[in-house]
Amino acid sequence: MKLADLPQQVLNDLCQEQQWRLDIDPGFDSKHEFWMAWHHFLQLPEEPNFPQCEESLADFLTLEGYNLLLPVPRSHHSSIDMIRLIPSADQQTLTVFLQDSYHRDWFTQPTDARYGFLAIADRYQKFGCDFYLASYYHFSYLVGKDYEKAVQILAQKLAASQ
């Protein structure tokens, strides 16, 4: 599934600030969490002071067969690894632990794998579409088995890049 394939009705719906808001903490050096509207991730700004490209917009990731829209630029997708995905019993909500090693300065040794993200996404089923949309995306320290898995993934990435 691709963002470009969504009907305009869906994009218009997702851009309604009071309907679909996102609680976000971008992590690392961020000091505060805040909310954002989804339109920041779905549409390029019209203001010339904010030049962006398509790679700065969100797009779908498919994790374990679930189409998931996260507030993450497309440019990050190749650096994102799923650590754990937990669907709710009724399949209406996903809880996902991720590692995004896009900012390579933060990920220079396997023990740096402790930096991760937690996403909570609700099922969106309107206008003939069926996917999961994050309503919560926060920096999170990975611990226990999640950390161990993240260390293995990051060690493989670091070895492959040398």
Tens digits of per-residue pLDDT, 39-66?
778 875 565 555 567 777 889 999 999 9
Reduced to 3 states (helix: H, G, I; strand: E, B; else coil), residue 136 is strand
Contact 58, 44 (CB under 8 A): no
Contact 72, 100 (CB under 8 A): yes
Reported as a single tens digit per residue, the pLDDT across 71-98 is 888 888 998 999 999 999 999 999 999 9
Reported as a single tens digit per residue, the pLDDT across 99-124 is 987 777 778 888 888 889 999 999 99
Q: Which of 40-44, 59-63, 131-135, 142-146 has the lowest mean pLDDT?
A: 40-44
Q: Which of 25-34, 66-75, 141-150 has the lowest mean pLDDT?
A: 25-34
Tell me which of 68 and 56 has the higher pLDDT: 68
> So where are the chain's domains?
3-45+58-160
Residues 6+ apart with CB under 8 A from 147: 113, 114
